[in-house]
Amino acid sequence: MKVFGYYPYDTLASRVIGFTGSDNQGVIGLEVKYDNYLKGIDGTILTLTTAHGVEIKNAAEDRIEPQPGNDLYLSLDINIQQYAQQVAEKVMESKQASNVKLIVMNPQNGEIMAMVNLPEYNLNDPYTFNEEFTALYAGQTLTDQQKTEALNKMWRNACISDTYEPGSSFKIITATAALEEKVVKLTDRFFCPGFKKVEDRIIRCHKAGGHGSQDFTEGIKNSCNPVFMELGARLGVDKMYYYFDKLGLFKKTGIDLPGEAGSIMHKKENIKAVELATMSFGQSFQITPLQLLVASSAVINGGKIVTPHLGVEIRSADGSRIKELDYPTSEQAVSKETSETMKALLEAVVSDGTGKRAYLPGFKVGGKTATSEKLPRSSNKYISSFIGFAPADNPQVIAVVLIEDPVGIYYGGTVAAPVIADLFKNILPYLGVDENYTEAEMEQFHVGSFEMPDFIGKTRKEVNQMMKIYEFGELDALGEGDIVREQFPLAGETIGKGSDIILYFE
């Protein structure tokens, strides 16, 4: 995606891209960050004049030609951004939420593919309130200062500038620290009576009657608070903070945007048993959604802390590359072994746990739900969220969605997980990730009929494998070569179980 001085997509990624002022200076967003590269040089004519102001013809006239600004190429993918905005708008409307944030990133290198902050505003008319802000301030006369504050709020990129209590999605971090430190095994058993007594406090599980006896795998699938409080206690404050630090939670991610916030953490010396217990399931401290995304990426990518970023390269107006942008990555924040274990655990959360509404047959999705109470807790307001990645065994995409103040049901597993499923269902094929059904999935989801897969370009060996997965009737293989050039029925057609197919090899 390319950014110009004007904004052909109006509201798309408005809080990321930002805009320039009348003097062509970036006011906010990427326009500020890359201002030096983007702004052109105004044409200037230096002319010698006589003392009376008359131009001297043919004197040393020096004309500086106006230069157009360079172009910044972004990792934001126009199709993914548009699709992400669509699914976010859908849930914002259906849940009458006050705002929705959604970030989609490549967990292997930190390239941001989409960043949505609803409500967006029109980049070509940034000083006019959008619909939501118009409604919010309807009937009020704002002073200049109030209007400026409101506009700043409308322009703010909350994905990177707002902190929140991450809640249960933070159990990813606690579980990782506990596995790294070897204070837990998957087979360890726990008992949840619905609460855990920590010093003089009763801290409840989200399941009032308790989860009863469960092993660690079940504990994470159930998102059981007492299991994680126990892990926090086994780790202790020093180890907990050691892993927070390793996973980058004490510093900003370094994204190439202005206005990034950092985390708000307890001073280590103030953490007693109760704080440690609540921290272990994501309460009593605050981070940004982007920090959670980066730390979780390290957990599932084999241990690399990537720098999330949007800028990929700078090109001049004629298209030639001026600068390739690169970003630091640090290795081994998490061991390969723990990373493998966590991928499998988080896939189990989706296939058979609290995240099951993010389940997508044919794709392996991993993730974690969260329902954060907004502060003060007495306000009974919530942020429903879900962080998910796919394919679980070799993640190519990770995304986090936060839905603030949903009306009615507010559980992350119910409200937020399907948003990521909807997103992944559409972007995974676009990213070149093929559907791959297990036999159980074929049984469960393809009863009666299914979608004809794409055989074009497959080898005979690959075809043989696909014949075993899909329930076709007879294969009529024509031609002598090794590669499929034509197929009937065509890819994408709905066909009945047991249908015969024809492939032509060349």
Burial 165-181 (b: 16+ CB within 10 A, else e): bbbbbbbbbbbbbbbbb
With b for 16 or more beta-carbon neighbours within 10 A and e for fewer, the 302-328 pattern comes to bbbbbbbbbbbbbbeeeeeeeeebeee
Helix, strand, coil shares of the chain, percent, nearest 5, are 35, 20, 45
Rounded to the nearest 5°, which phi and psi values hold at 18?
75, -170
Nearest CA among 442, 429, 439, 370 for reference residue 401? 370
* Closest approach of Zn ion to the CB of residue 249, in Å: 25
- Binding range to Zn ion, per CB under 5 A, among 103-111, 191-199, 473-481, 486-494: 191-199
Residue 211 CB, nearest distance to Zn ion (Å)? 4
Task: Write down the least CB distance from residue 348 to Zn ion, Å.
Answer: 16
Residue 250 or 411 having the CB closest to Zn ion: 411
CB of residue 193 vs Zn ion: minimum separation in angstroms? 8
Please tell me the number of Cα atoms within 13 Å of 136 on its side-chain side: 15
Q: Pick the stretch among 32-40, 131-139, 220-228, 410-418 that binds Zn ion (CB under 5 A).
A: 220-228
> Which of residues 291 and 369 has its CB atom nearest to Zn ion in the complex?
369
Q: Which of 69, 81, 154 is nearest to 111 (CA)?
A: 81
Q: Of residues 397-456, which lie at the interface with Zn ion (CB under 5 A)?
A: none
Show the CA angle centred on residue 165, arms to residues 162 and 168, nearest 5°: 135
**Per-residue interface string for the shown chain with Zn ion, residues 291-310, x marking contact by CB under 5 A:** --------------------
Stretch that binds Zn ion, among 117-125, 185-193, 343-351, 426-434 (CB under 5 A): 185-193
Residues with Cβ < 8 Å from 484, sequence gap 6 or more?
A: 455, 456, 457, 458, 459, 463, 503, 504, 505
**With respect to Zn ion, which residue has the nearer C-beta, 190 or 363?**
190
* Pattern 133-172, Zn ion, x by CB under 5 A: ----------------------------------------
Backbone dihedral angles phi then psi of residue 298, each to the nearest 5 degrees: -60, -35
Asked if residues 297 and 171 have their Cβ atoms less than 8 Å apart, the reply is no
- At closest approach, how far in Å is the CB of 167 from Zn ion? 15
User: Catalytic one among 14, 75, 168, 169?
Assistant: 168
- Window of 155-163, 197-205, 366-374, 488-496 that interacts with Zn ion by CB under 5 A: 197-205
Per CB under 5 A, 175 contacts Zn ion: no
CB 369 to Zn ion: min, Å: 14
Size, binding site for Zn ion by CB under 5 A:
4
| Residue of 17, 198, 224, 399 interacting with Zn ion (CB under 5 A) | 224
Q: Which residues contact 326 (CB under 8 A, 6 or more apart)?
A: none
Q: Which of 260, 261, 266 is nearest to 285 (CA)?
A: 266
> Which listed range, 38-46, 203-211, 419-427, 492-500, lies at the site for Zn ion (CB under 5 A)?
203-211
Per the CB < 8 A criterion, the answer to whether 397 and 105 are in contact is: yes
By CB under 5 A, which span of 219-227, 275-283, 354-362, 373-381 interacts with Zn ion?
A: 219-227
| 385 is annotated as an active-site residue | no
Q: Name 84's bridge partners.
A: none
Asked whether position 334 contacts Zn ion by CB under 5 A, the answer is: no
End-to-end CA distance of the chain: 38
Pick 227 or 237: Cβ nearer Zn ion: 227
CB of 229 to Zn ion, least distance (A): 10
Q: How far apart are CA 328 and CA 306, in angstroms?
A: 7
Q: Which is nearer to Zn ion, 101 or 211 (CB)?
A: 211
Q: Looking at beta carbons only, is 205 or 235 nearer to Zn ion?
A: 205
Q: Does 205 bind Zn ion (CB under 5 A)?
A: yes
76 vs 192, beta carbon nearer Zn ion: 192
> Can you tell me the distance from the alpha carbon of 135 to that of 151, in angstroms, rounded to the nearest whole number?
14
CA angle centred on 431, ends 430 and 435, rounded to 5°: 80
For the bound state, the minimum distance from the C-beta of residue 195 to Zn ion, rounded and expressed in Å, comes to: 8
Residue recorded with tokens 């897969």 = 453
Omega before 391 within 30 of 0, i.e. cis: yes
| CA 279 – CA 265 distance, rounded (Å) | 10
Only one of the segments 74-82, 108-116, 217-225, 260-268 lies at the binding site for Zn ion (rule: CB under 5 A); that segment is 217-225
- Residues 96, 397: contact at Cβ < 8 Å? no
**Looking at the DSSP assignment, which residues form a beta bridge with residue 504?**
478, 486
Least CB distance to Zn ion at residue 196 (A): 9
CA 28, 30, 32, 33 dihedral sign is: positive
Give the nearer residue to Zn ion in terms of CB position, either 51 or 202: 202
Among 15, 211, 221, 343, binds Zn ion (CB under 5 A): 211
12 binds Zn ion (CB under 5 A): no
Nearer to Zn ion, 211 or 304 (CB): 211
Q: Which is nearer to Zn ion, 192 or 220 (CB)?
A: 192
Q: Is 192 in the site for Zn ion (CB under 5 A)?
A: yes
> Would you name the residues annotated as active-site residues?
168
Binding site for Zn ion (CB under 5 A): 192, 205, 211, 224
